[in-house]
Structure 1
Amino acid sequence: MPAIKAFLEHVLEKLTSLGPVTGRSMFGGFGVFHDEEMFGLISNDVLYLKADDSNREDYLSRGSSQYKPMPYFRVPDDVFENSEDLSRWAQKSVAIAHAPPKKKK
């Protein structure tokens, strides 16, 4: 567990530009939260961010895999390594997490 927690701390450090970001143990990994809304998750030292119709293609076009059955996609390595890109991608996921739920038809 110490190595997994170290990766969580690394992710939280990379996301400081988003403001209050925290991690909680869940699903055998960690949920990543902004103001109590989950926008990311960590499993096996991989960061996944929440996606919807507004950003799903960004992930798919780069060959990212989905953390099924949840709407989270693996962050591409080059995005993870670039703080500005990661912040931009994470901000989209934060907005999705804070959006009101869509009404079912």
Structure 2
Amino acid sequence: MSEYIEFLKEVFEEFGPIHPRRMFGGYGLFHKGLMFALVADDVLYLKADESLSGFFEERGLDQFQYEKHGKTIKMSFYMAPEEIFDDPVEAKGWAVRSYEAAARANKPVKKVQKKRRFRFDP
């Protein structure tokens, strides 16, 4: 495991245990089974949704993106603000918000049941 991942475990100590998993050529950071962050090229990105992305954009933090088949794919993760690396309380606050965004995104989609048709044959 990389030194950067070990460092992030310390950064998020106030938030609680995180479990890194190798993915995307980097790492996904999980807490209680939900991926709330990812690490690519030793850069930390935090999960965001519509209610949270504005906080990242106001601070000029870049959205995670990659190239696939000549197209740019943007994911719902944004570069973490620098202040979280020096302030455990700030790190916890951002982690909680990102974890909540992951939880909202993880809600199961309700399937619409097809109407059953009954045949009546006398």
Does TM-score exceed 0.5, indicating one fold? yes
More helix by share: 1
* TM-score when normalising by structure 2: 0.74
* TM-score when normalising by structure 1: 0.85
2:116 is aligned to none
| CA-CA distance at 1:102 after TM superposition | 6.3
CA distance in 1, matches of 2:108, 2:56: 22
2:34 is aligned to 37
| CA-CA distance at 1:64 after TM superposition | 0.3
Q: Kindly, what percent of the aligned residue pairs are identical? A: 36
The reply to whether residue 94 of structure 1 matches residue 66 of structure 2 is no
| CA-CA distance at 1:18 after TM superposition | 2.1
Larger radius of gyration: 2
1:73 is aligned to 78
Comparing 14-23 with 37-46, greater Cα deviation is found at 14-23
2:119 is aligned to none
CA distance in 1, matches of 2:87, 2:16: 18
More strand by share: 2
The reply to whether residue 10 of structure 1 matches residue 7 of structure 2 is yes
- Relative distance call for 1:102 and 1:15 in structure 2 (3 A) is farther
SS at match of 1:16: coil
Question: Unmatched 5+ residue regions in structure 1?
Answer: none
| CA-CA distance at 1:45 after TM superposition | 1.3
The reply to whether residue 27 of structure 1 matches residue 24 of structure 2 is yes
Which letter maps to 1:61?
E
1:85 aligned to 90, 93, 118, which one?
A: 90
CA distance in 2, matches of 1:80, 1:54: 23
